[in-house]
């Protein structure tokens, strides 16, 4: 089984990227940042390392560029180093001082809830996660963890003691041309984790719409909806101008309805054939509503979150679909 959290790019020579995404929310909800260490190789084989940062409060972003010689990552465990910065499942340590700005401090992670993996479900992408030549692979590492520590971001002290976080990663050639991504861990009715993504996926000269959704309350409720387990998108609507989306999913164990609204957001660099030249807008203070219903029509969870991650990259201003899709 592929350990997707580990470094996958050891033998890559061109058109490749790999990045780990750490979302951190403070206990008082006043601070929300995402930190993305990674590497990329362009079509000519030139390599680079980077650390991206987004501050949700003001939408400011930083792209710290490093020589690839400063990048070290293990292929037999989750362990990444870039110059004087380190990232792993137990925490992260930052000591960045570049012309773009500075970020320093250390965060440690406790009460970790990793994404469940096994022979039947090797990852959030299911069997697509082990098929070669996919444009982009997505992996969830931590659904939820608690945070201890403080970060200094351009001179501002951000206290994350008692906060919570989330880790995922992407690797491959490029982000999908058209996709939507949502992730939330803070709900008004208690801690839970919800992630959803839908994209047009190129494969062997064709293109097909694929999606996955995962929800757990870390207690009695866990549901997975995905193309590969024969779930369906019954309703779907996206408005890129308004920054909204809504959908209804039907799966083997019930249905899931959700809606989301972008709030704020900053510009991040994303990969295109290994070039970190594409710009995307990401919010980590989006508003998300989720309702989960069992096969008998009973509502088993319904709540909202104001600290959700959200990205919309669509060709059309409004995309809607009222028909079932595989």
> With 60 as the cut, is the pLDDT of residue 318 above it?
no
Q: What distance lies between CA 193 and its chain's CA centroid?
A: 12
Q: List, in sequence order, every beta strand (DSSP E) within 219-274.
A: 222-226, 232-239, 244-251, 254-261, 266-272
Local structure of 127: helix, strand or coil: helix
pLDDT of residue 320: 56
Local structure of 229: helix, strand or coil: helix
Question: Alpha-carbon distance 161 to 164, whole Å?
Answer: 9
pLDDT of residue 322: 44
Q: Which residues contact residue 132 at a Cβ distance below 8 angstroms, ignoring those fewer than 6 apart?
A: none
Q: Give tens-digit pLDDT for 19-70.
A: 999 999 999 999 999 999 999 999 999 999 999 999 998 899 999 999 999 9
Name the DSSP letter for residue 116. P
Question: Alpha-carbon distance 110 to 165, whole Å?
Answer: 10
pLDDT of residue 125: 94
Q: Give tens-digit pLDDT for 162-193.
A: 999 999 999 999 999 999 999 998 899 888 99
> With 90 as the cut, is the pLDDT of residue 207 above it?
no
Q: Give tens-digit pLDDT for 257-299.
A: 999 999 988 999 999 999 999 999 999 999 999 999 999 999 9
Neighbours of 46 (CB within 10 A): 12
Share of the chain above pLDDT 70, in %: 96
Question: Alpha-carbon distance 71 to 79, whole Å?
Answer: 11
Q: Which residues contact residue 280 at a Cβ distance below 8 angstroms, ignoring those fewer than 6 apart?
A: 175, 267, 268, 269, 270, 311, 313
Beta-bridged to residue 52, according to DSSP, are: 36, 63
Beta-bridged to residue 148, according to DSSP, are: 108
H or E stretch at 213:
strand 206-216
Question: Alpha-carbon distance 22 to 324, whole Å?
Answer: 34
pLDDT of residue 74: 97
pLDDT of residue 290: 98
Letter string b/e over residues 147-168, b meaning 16 or more CB atoms within 10 A of that residue's CB: bebebebeeeebbbeebbbbbb
């Amino acid at each position: 089984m592929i350990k997707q959290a580990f470094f996958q790019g050891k033998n890559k020579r061109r058109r490749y990227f790999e990045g780990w995404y750490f979302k951190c929310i403070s206990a008082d909800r006043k601070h929300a940042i995402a930190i993305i260490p990674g590497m990329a190789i362009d079509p000519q084989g030139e390599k680079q390392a980077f650390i991206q940062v987004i501050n949700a409060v003001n939408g400011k972003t930083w792209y710290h560029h490093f020589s690839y010689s400063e990048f070290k990552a293990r292929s037999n465990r989750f362990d990444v180093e870039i110059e004087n910065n380190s990232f792993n499942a137990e925490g992260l340590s930052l000591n960045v001082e570049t012309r773009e700005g500075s970020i320093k401090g250390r965060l440690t992670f406790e009460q970790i809830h990793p994404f469940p993996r096994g022979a039947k479900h090797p990852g959030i992408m299911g069997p697509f996660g082990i098929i070669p030549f996919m444009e982009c692979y997505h992996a969830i590492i931590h659904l939820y963890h608690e945070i201890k520590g403080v970060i200094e971001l351009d001179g501002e002290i951000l206290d994350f003691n008692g906060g919570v976080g989330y880790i995922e990663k992407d690797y491959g050639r490029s982000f999908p041309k058209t996709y939507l991504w949502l992730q939330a861990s803070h709900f008004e009715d208690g801690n839970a984790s919800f992630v959803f993504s839908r994209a047009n996926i190129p494969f062997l000269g064709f293109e097909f719409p694929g999606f996955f959704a995962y929800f757990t309350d870390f207690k009695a409720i866990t549901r997975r909806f995905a193309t590969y387990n024969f779930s369906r998108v019954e309703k779907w609507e996206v408005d890129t101008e308004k920054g909204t989306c809504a959908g209804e999913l039907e799966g083997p164990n019930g249905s899931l309805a959700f809606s989301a609204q972008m709030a704020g957001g900053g510009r991040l660099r994303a990969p295109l054939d290994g070039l970190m030249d594409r710009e995307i807008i990401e919010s980590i203070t989006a508003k998300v509503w989720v309702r989960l219903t069992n096969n008998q029509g009973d509502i088993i969870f319904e709540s909202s979150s104001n600290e959700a991650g959200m990205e919309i990259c669509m060709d059309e201003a409004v995309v809607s679909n009222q028909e079932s899709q595989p």
